[in-house]
């Protein structure tokens, strides 16, 4: 039986500050469902966790094949696969004897994993902004909700989905933990919160024309329901790399929105 594939991501401006989360669920029967939401005062880690929890919650145990969940949050992966069991044994205290941050979310995430048994959840790392459409789209959803925008979430057949959700990351080990970022740390290991909000532009490619948008809302307005390509760029160099990845010359003209 094929696996259910999930991508998740979270974003937060200020950390704590206004945040958003986004998830994509791709089921073996060829259906796609995007999920997303926001919170006016939250943290990046809470949004990363919420994205995973909400996605798992949408899956009925009777429908659950094995699940492969991709996230760029090493905090989520290490927490649910390594730290959570020790926390429970110590009465939800970390190794330093302090209360575990985000306890209620860890309890809910663990409950969702147990609810779906005997289906297994595989937690896989995808490096943020590394060109995988599932991760990029979740980031777009999360950022949109963090800014109070409507992300126009898609629900429908995979054959009509605007992005290539089947382009999956290769197996990659978790980055090494930075010193001082132990279990239960409130910071997102391996990724800075500011990078979530340092968007330079959004590029869209439709009918042979590349357009540069300053907001996701403008980009989405052009690509929604169209056989288009789109991607976020954080620098001019990244824009050139995106053009190349789309099979275009790096000198291709970009129209300003």
Q: Which pLDDT band, with edges at 50, 70 and 90, does 200 fall under?
A: confident
Please provide residue 57's backbone torsions phi and psi, each rounded to the nearest 5 degrees.
-65, -25
β partners of residue 187: none
User: Is 150 an annotated catalytic residue?
Assistant: no
Catalytic member of 34, 39, 48, 220: 48
Distance CA 138, CA 219 (A): 15
Selected from 3.30.420.10, 3.30.499.10, 3.40.50.300, 3.90.1150.10, the CATH number assigned to the domain covering 1-161 reads 3.30.420.10
Q: Which pLDDT band, with edges at 50, 70 and 90, does 197 fall under?
A: very low
Catalytic member of 36, 38, 129, 239: 129
> Structural domain boundaries of the chain?
1-161, 198-257
Taking 50 as the threshold, does the pLDDT of residue 196 lie above it? no
User: Is 10 an annotated catalytic residue?
Assistant: yes
Mean pLDDT on 90-97: 87
Considering only CA atoms, give the Rg of the chain. Answer: 18
Catalytic member of 136, 139, 220, 239: 139
Buried b (16+ CB within 10 A) or exposed e, 196-210: bbebebbbbbeeeeb
**Residue predicted with more confidence, 180 or 241:** 241
Catalytic member of 22, 37, 38, 72: 72
Distance CA 7, CA 32 (A): 11
Residue 178: predicted pLDDT: 55
| DSSP assignment letter at 226 | S
**In which residue are the tokens 């990724």 written?**
191
Mean pLDDT on 19-33: 96
Mean pLDDT on 39-62: 95
Residue 226: predicted pLDDT: 81
Residue 170: predicted pLDDT: 80
pLDDT tens per residue, range 132-184: 899 999 999 999 999 999 889 999 999 999 998 888 888 777 776 554 444 54
Residue 63: predicted pLDDT: 76
Nearest to 126 by CA among 51, 201, 218: 51
Hey, CA dihedral for 135, 138, 140, 146, is it positive or negative? negative
User: Is 48 an annotated catalytic residue?
Assistant: yes
Taking 70 as the threshold, does the pLDDT of residue 190 lie above it? no
The alpha carbon of residue 106 and the mean position of all alpha carbons in its chain are separated, in whole angstroms, by: 18
Taking 70 as the threshold, does the pLDDT of residue 230 lie above it? yes
- Neighbour order of strands in the sheet with 4-12: 121-125, 67-71, 4-12, 17-26, 31-42, 155-157
User: Is 9 an annotated catalytic residue?
Assistant: yes
Residue 177: predicted pLDDT: 59
Distance CA 257, CA 255 (A): 6
β partners of residue 168: none
Q: Which pLDDT band, with edges at 50, 70 and 90, does 185 fall under?
A: very low
> 197: which residues sit within 8 A by CB, 6+ positions away?
11, 13, 143, 146
> 135: which residues sit within 8 A by CB, 6+ positions away?
7, 9, 70, 72, 126, 128, 129, 169
pTM over 0.75: no
């Amino acid at each position: 039986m094929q696996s259910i594939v999930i991508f998740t991501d979270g974003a937060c401006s200020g950390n704590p500050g206004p945040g958003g989360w986004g998830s994509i669920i791709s089921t073996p029967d060829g259906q796609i469902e995007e999920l997303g939401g926001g919170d006016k005062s939250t943290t990046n880690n809470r949004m990363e966790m919420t994205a995973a929890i909400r996605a798992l919650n949408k899956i009925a145990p009777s429908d659950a094949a094995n699940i492969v969940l991709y996230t760029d949050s090493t905090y989520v992966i290490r927490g649910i696969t390594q730290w959570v069991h020790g926390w429970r044994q110590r009465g939800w205290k970390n190794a330093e004897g302090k209360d575990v941050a985000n306890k209620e979310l860890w309890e809910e995430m663990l409950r969702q994993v147990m609810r779906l048994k005997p289906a297994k959840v595989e937690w896989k790392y995808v490096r943020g902004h590394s060109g995988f459409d599932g991760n990029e789209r979740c980031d777009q959803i999360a950022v949109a909700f963090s800014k109070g925008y409507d992300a126009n979430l898609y629900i429908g057949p995979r054959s009509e989905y605007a992005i290539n959700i089947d382009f999956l990351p290769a197996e990659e080990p978790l980055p090494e933990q930075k010193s001082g970022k132990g279990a239960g740390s409130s910071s997102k290991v391996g990724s800075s919160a500011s990078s979530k909000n340092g968007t330079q532009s959004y590029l869209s490619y439709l009918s042979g024309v590349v357009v540069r948008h300053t907001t996701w809302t403008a980009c989405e307005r052009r690509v929604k329901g169209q056989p288009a390509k789109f991607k976020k760029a954080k620098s001019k160099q990244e824009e050139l790399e995106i053009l190349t990845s789309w099979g275009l010359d790096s000198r291709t003209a970009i129209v300003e929105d």
